[in-house]
Structure 1
């Protein structure tokens, strides 16, 4: 059985949320999407997720919401991290941290497992993503028809290494965090879908969705001024995957 899966890049601020409101249902209908994963970690003004953002992303069509290092920037989301199975923080935070990094959903007879993972190169310190994710996959692979990994990381080397590390054991490994969509979507040698970065669901006329003047000033002065999301129309970026549930491997990957 073949299923179509939509995975979307970081939702940045109100323009990103508006893009989901205006466009996600259309994409789901156009591509006959069976399952949708959205990285929502920048939904609240570029930093974190608010409670309303979570409920709106669900209403717009997200089955599971992944995140990354910015998930901790809005305290109001903390209770939902514990209470909502479909809202993920990265898996490889230390034991005892609120929330969880794995969600398993059964939808229309298909069991989907989604893992949110965070890199360590130029990122906040976490447990080893490679060892952590491998142990989890070994535990869930026999009961999952589809396994999807959102690897939220800065380093292209780390992302590509993760792709080959997991090739054949998951349906797809997709990168997030940089807000720049890469053009290297592919099916790896052992059958897993891969892209280094899904891109940005938000404004594409600035610097990774933000005001370029502030970004330039930060570079000139080295003062860590807070970025501001541009108040312009946003666009959706991500990939459409086709996965064979019999093999749990990817048969097609296309950029959106």
Structure 2
């Protein structure tokens, strides 16, 4: 029996939240998703996530929320990270921080593990994502049938390296963080599905979801101007991954999706 995972790219502010709320139920039905993963780390005006917004994302149809480096910017989310089992932060932050970086979702009898990791190149150099991935796989090996990784990272080389390192050990690895959807989706030699980045869900006419004029001025002036979420028509960037439950660590189909919200 074929199973489908739908992953939604980083939610950017109010436009991204509106697009998710309007589009996700239809997309889940269209692609017959067994598991829906949403990266929510930029939902709060582009920087972080609040418990209220996380609840809205779950109510919109997400089964698991992943995140990245911006998850710590709204302190009210810290307790939520501890209390909500399907709310993830990158697992390779040092131990003792709020939250957890993996969960297992049961979809009609098949156990789907979701792992959330963060890169180190061009980002804060936290614990090694490669070693943490090895550790998590040992942990979930007897608990899960399929394994999906959200690797929140800046550097394409690091993303590809982790995907090849895990090839044949996980079902799929998709990148998040850059907000730019790539077109390099493929199945690696031992069966793992991969794409460098699934993009973002939010304003279309923008610079990675933020006001274009501010983005230009940041480059012209070299001043640390604060980014503001652009307010214009939104798109939903996503990824569809399919596998057969008889071979849950082998991707049979993988393709990106980019749909206009229509407002």
TM-score, normalization by structure 1: 0.98
Structure 1 match to 2:253: 252
CA deviation profile, 1:46-70 (whole Å, cap 9, x unmatched): 0000111101110111000000000
- Cα displacement (A) at 1:145: 1.4
1:187-226 equivalences under 5 Å are 187-226=187-226
- Cα displacement (A) at 1:223: 1.2
CA distance in 2 between counterparts of 1:143 and 1:87 reads: 18
Are positions 1:236 and 2:236 aligned together? yes
CA deviation profile, 1:25-54 (whole Å, cap 9, x unmatched): 000111111110000000000000011110
1:78-227 equivalences under 5 Å are 78-227=78-227
- Cα displacement (A) at 1:135: 1.4
Q: Say whether the 8 Å CA contact 2:205–2:233 is kept in structure 1.
A: no
Structure 2 match to 1:20: 20
Aligned to 1:57, the other structure's residue is in SS state helix
Q: Say whether the 8 Å CA contact 1:68–1:177 is kept in structure 2.
A: yes
Are positions 1:54 and 2:60 aligned together? no
CA deviation profile, 1:188-239 (whole Å, cap 9, x unmatched): 1100110000001111211001101111111112111110001112111111
Consecutive unaligned residues of structure 1, counting only runs of 5 or more, are none
**What is the alpha-carbon root mean square deviation over aligned residues?**
0.9
CA distance in 2 between counterparts of 1:91 and 1:150 reads: 11
- Cα displacement (A) at 1:139: 2.0
CA distance in 1 between counterparts of 2:70 and 2:170 reads: 25
Q: Say whether the 8 Å CA contact 2:122–2:154 is kept in structure 1.
A: yes
- Cα displacement (A) at 1:142: 2.7
- Cα displacement (A) at 1:73: 0.4
Please identify, of 217-226 and 77-86, the stretch whose mean Cα deviation from structure 2 is larger: 217-226
Aligned to 2:154, the other structure's residue is in SS state coil
CA distance in 1 between counterparts of 2:145 and 2:204 reads: 35
**Aligned pairs, how many?**
256
After TM superposition, which residue ranges in structure 1, 4 or more long, deviate above 2 angstroms?
Answer: none
Aligned to 1:150, the other structure's residue is in SS state strand
Structure 1 match to 2:33: 33
CA distance in 1 between counterparts of 2:238 and 2:164 reads: 20
CA distance in 1 between counterparts of 2:31 and 2:247 reads: 22
Consecutive unaligned residues of structure 2, counting only runs of 5 or more, are 258-263
Aligned to 2:236, the other structure's residue is in SS state coil
CA distance in 2 between counterparts of 1:32 and 1:238 reads: 14
Please identify, of 169-178 and 225-234, the stretch whose mean Cα deviation from structure 2 is larger: 225-234
Structure 1 match to 2:74: 74
TM-score, normalization by structure 2: 0.95
